[in-house]
Amino acid sequence: MADDLKHTTAEATFLDASEIVLNMGPQHPATHGVLRVILKLDGEKIIGTECVVGYLHRGVEKIGENRTYVQFNPYVDRLDYVASVSNGLGYCEAVEKLLNVTAPPRAQTVRVILTELNRIASHLIWLGTHALDIGAMTPLFYTFNQREDILKIYENYCGARLTTHAFRIGGLQYDLYEGFEQQVKKFCDELPAKVDEYEWLLTTNRIWVARTQGVGILTAEEAIDLGVTGPMLRASGVKWDIRKALPYENYAEFDFDIPTGKNGDTYDRYLVRLEEMRQARRIIQQAVERIPDGPIMAKVPKVVKPPAGEVYHSIEAPKGELGYFIVSDGGLQPYRLRIRPPSFVNLQALDRMVRGSLVADVVAVIGTTDIVLGEVDR
Amino acid sequence: MLDQFFFYIFAAVILLGGLLTITRRSAVHSAIFLIATLLGIAGLYLHLQAEFLAGVQVILYVGGIMVLFLFVIMLVNLDQAARQRQFNRQWWLALLAAAAVCGEALYGLYRGRGAFSFPGAMPGNVPPNTQAVGNALYQNYMLPFEVASIMLLVAMVGAVVMAKKRL
Amino acid sequence: MPPITLATLKPYIIMVLIVGIGPLGVGYLVLLERKLMADMQARLGPMRVGPQGLLQPIADAVKLLLKEDVIPGMVDKWVFWLAPCVTVTTALAAFSLVPFSSEFVVTDVNIGVLAILALSSVGVLGIILGGWAANSHYPLLGSLRCTAQMVSYEVVMGFAVVAVLLMAGSLSMVEIVKAQAESHRWFLFGAFPFGLIAFFMYYVAAMAETNRSPFDLPEAESELVAGFMTEYSGFRWALYFLAEYCNIIIVCSIAVTLFLGGWLRPFPSVKLLGWLDYAAPVGSSLLVGGLSLYLVKRQPRAFDQIVLAAIGLAFVAVAGLFAWPAFNELFRGVFWFIAKIMVLVYSFMWVRFTFPRYRYDQLMRLGWRLMIPLGIVNVIAIGIVLVLRG
Q: How far is CA C46 from CA C38, C56, C307, in A?
A: 9, 7, 16
Residues in B touching A15 (Cβ below 8 Å): 75-77
* Residue A14 pLDDT > 70: no
For C244, the enclosing helix (H) or strand (E) is helix C235-259
* Residue A281 pLDDT > 90: yes
| Cα C24 off chain centre by | 14
Residue C285 lies in a domain: no
Catalogue the long-range contacts made by C185-191 (C-beta closer than 8 Å, 24 or more residues apart): C186/C259, C186/C260, C186/C261, C187/C258, C187/C259, C187/C261, C188/C259, C188/C260, C191/C163, C191/C167, C191/C381, C191/C382, C191/C385, C191/C386
Residues in C touching A140 (Cβ below 8 Å): 41
Longest CA span, chain C: 67
Q: How far is CA A67 from CA A89, A165, A333, C139, in A?
A: 18, 16, 6, 50
Point out the residue among C213, C214, C224 whose CB comes nearest to the CB of A22. C224
Residues in A touching B76 (Cβ below 8 Å): 15
Entry field: residues in chain A: 378
- In degrees, rounded to 5, the angle at the alpha carbon of residue C350 between the alpha carbons of residues C346 and C354 is 175
Residues in C touching B35 (Cβ below 8 Å): 125
* Residue A25 pLDDT > 90: no
Measure the CA–CA gap between B2 and B120, rounded to whole angstroms: 11
The pLDDT confidence band at residue A284, using thresholds 50, 70 and 90, is very high
- In degrees, rounded to 5, the angle at the alpha carbon of residue A90 between the alpha carbons of residues A87 and A95 is 125
Is the pTM above the cut of 0.90? no
Point out the residue among C1, C110, C118 whose CB comes nearest to the CB of B63. C118
Report which DSSP code applies to B65: I
> What distance in Å separates residue A208's CA from the closest CA in chain B?
29
- With CA atoms as reference, report the closest residue to A150 among A117, A174, A175: A117
Reply yes or no: is the peptide bond before residue C193 cis, omega within 30 of 0. Answer: yes
Average pLDDT over residues A125-153: 90
Q: Could you give all domains of chain A from N- to C-terminal order, each with its CATH number? A: 3-52 (no CATH), 60-377 (1.10.645.10)
The reply to whether residue C110 touches residue B32, judged by beta carbons under 8 angstroms, is no
Measure the CA–CA gap between B139 and B128, rounded to whole angstroms: 16
pLDDT in tens, A191-208: 999 999 999 989 988 899
Residues in B touching A20 (Cβ below 8 Å): none
Question: Which residues have CB under 8 Å from A155's CB, separation 6+?
Answer: A161
Point out the residue among C40, C224, C356 whose CB comes nearest to the CB of A207. C356
- With CA atoms as reference, report the closest residue to C363 among C244, C243, C218: C218
The pLDDT confidence band at residue B154, using thresholds 50, 70 and 90, is very high
> What distance in Å separates residue B73's CA from the closest CA in chain A?
13
| Cα C354 off chain centre by | 20
CA A26, A30, A32, A35 dihedral sign is negative
- With CA atoms as reference, report the closest residue to B59 among A215, C113, C325: C113
Buried b (16+ CB within 10 A) or exposed e, A269-281: bbbbbbbbbbbbb
Q: Angle, to 10 degrees, between the axis of helix C276-296 and the axis of helix C325-354?
A: 70
Residues in B touching A13 (Cβ below 8 Å): 77
Q: What is the pLDDT of residue B79?
A: 62
Pairing relation of β-strands A171-172 and A167-168? antiparallel
Closest alpha carbon within chain A to B77 = A15
User: Are the C-beta atoms of residues C225 and A24 closer than 8 Å to each other?
Assistant: no
Question: Which residues have CB under 8 Å from A209's CB, separation 6+?
Answer: A267
pLDDT in tens, A60-108: 999 999 999 999 999 998 988 888 999 999 999 999 999 999 999 999 9
Name beta bridge partners: A24. Answer: A37
B77 to chain A, any CB pair closer than 8 A? The answer is yes
Residue C269 lies in a domain: no
Point out the residue among A24, A207, A360 whose CB comes nearest to the CB of C360. A360
| DSSP output for C151-174 | HHHHHHHHHHHHHHHHHH--S-HH
Residues in A touching C219 (Cβ below 8 Å): none
More confident residue, B130 or B122: B130
Q: What is the pLDDT of residue A15?
A: 44
Name beta bridge partners: A327. Answer: A310, A336
Q: What is the pLDDT of residue C296?
A: 86
B80 to chain A, any CB pair closer than 8 A? The answer is no
The class (CATH top level) of B1-83 is: mainly alpha
> What distance in Å separates residue B75's CA from the closest CA in chain A?
9
Measure the CA–CA gap between A245 and A243, rounded to whole angstroms: 6
Measure the CA–CA gap between C314 and C293, rounded to whole angstroms: 10
Q: What is the pLDDT of residue C267?
A: 81
Average pLDDT over residues B38-48: 92
More confident residue, A242 or C231: A242
Measure the CA–CA gap between A292 and A107, rounded to whole angstroms: 9
Residues in C touching A22 (Cβ below 8 Å): 224
Closest alpha carbon within chain A to C357 = A135
Residues in B touching C121 (Cβ below 8 Å): 58-59, 62-64, 67
Residue C299 lies in a domain: no
Residue C284 lies in a domain: no
The helix/strand/coil state of B112 is coil
Question: Which residues have CB under 8 Å from A283's CB, separation 6+?
Answer: A112, A116, A251, A254, A256
Residue C152 lies in a domain: yes
Q: What is the pLDDT of residue B104?
A: 94
Residue C100 lies in a domain: yes
* Residue B116 pLDDT > 90: no
- A and B: number of Cβ contacts within 8 A: 4
| Cα A184 off chain centre by | 22
* Residue A13 pLDDT > 60: no
Report which DSSP code applies to B137: I
Question: Which residues have CB under 8 Å from A195's CB, separation 6+?
Answer: A274, A277, A278
- A and C: number of Cβ contacts within 8 A: 69
Measure the CA–CA gap between A2 and C237, rounded to whole angstroms: 43
Q: Which residues of chain C have pLDDT under 50?
A: 222-223
Closest alpha carbon within chain C to A31 = C223
Task: State the first-to-last Cα distance of chain A, in angstroms, to the nearest integer.
Answer: 26
Point out the residue among C40, C216, C220 whose CB comes nearest to the CB of A138. C40
* Residue A5 pLDDT > 80: no
> What distance in Å separates residue C112's CA from the closest CA in chain B?
9
Point out the residue among A136, A141, A362 whose CB comes nearest to the CB of C355. A136
Q: What is the pLDDT of residue A6?
A: 41
Phi/psi at C383 (5° precision): -60, -45
Which residues of A lie inside 8 Å of C (Cβ-Cβ)? 14, 22, 24, 28-30, 44, 131, 134-138, 140-142, 145, 201-202, 205, 207-208, 210-211, 358-363
Q: What is the pLDDT of residue B125?
A: 64
> What distance in Å separates residue C5's CA from the closest CA in chain B?
20
Per the structure, the complete domain to which residue C256 belongs is given by 10-264+324-389
Closest alpha carbon within chain C to B68 = C148
Closest alpha carbon within chain A to C226 = A24
Closest alpha carbon within chain B to A16 = B77
- With CA atoms as reference, report the closest residue to A299 among A99, A69, A72, A67: A99
> What distance in Å separates residue C152's CA from the closest CA in chain A?
19
Question: Which residues have CB under 8 Å from C73's CB, separation 6+?
Answer: none
Reply yes or no: is the peptide bond before residue C72 cis, omega within 30 of 0. Answer: no
C68 to chain A, any CB pair closer than 8 A? The answer is no
The reply to whether residue B55 touches residue C117, judged by beta carbons under 8 angstroms, is yes
Point out the residue among C122, C131, C171 whose CB comes nearest to the CB of B58. C122
* Residue A12 pLDDT > 60: no
> What distance in Å separates residue B115's CA from the closest CA in chain C?
27
Phi/psi at A20 (5° precision): -120, 150
B75 to chain A, any CB pair closer than 8 A? The answer is yes
Query: Residue C66: what residue type?
Result: L
Q: Is A17 left (phi over 0), alpha (psi -120 to 50) or beta?
A: beta
The helix/strand/coil state of A16 is coil
The reply to whether residue B28 touches residue C76, judged by beta carbons under 8 angstroms, is yes
SS3 content of chain C, % helix, strand, coil (to 5): 75, 0, 25
User: Are the C-beta atoms of residues A153 and A164 closer than 8 Å to each other?
Assistant: no
**Percent of chain B residues topping a pLDDT of 90:** 43
Closest alpha carbon within chain A to B76 = A15
More confident residue, A230 or B127: A230
Total domain count for chain C?
Answer: 1
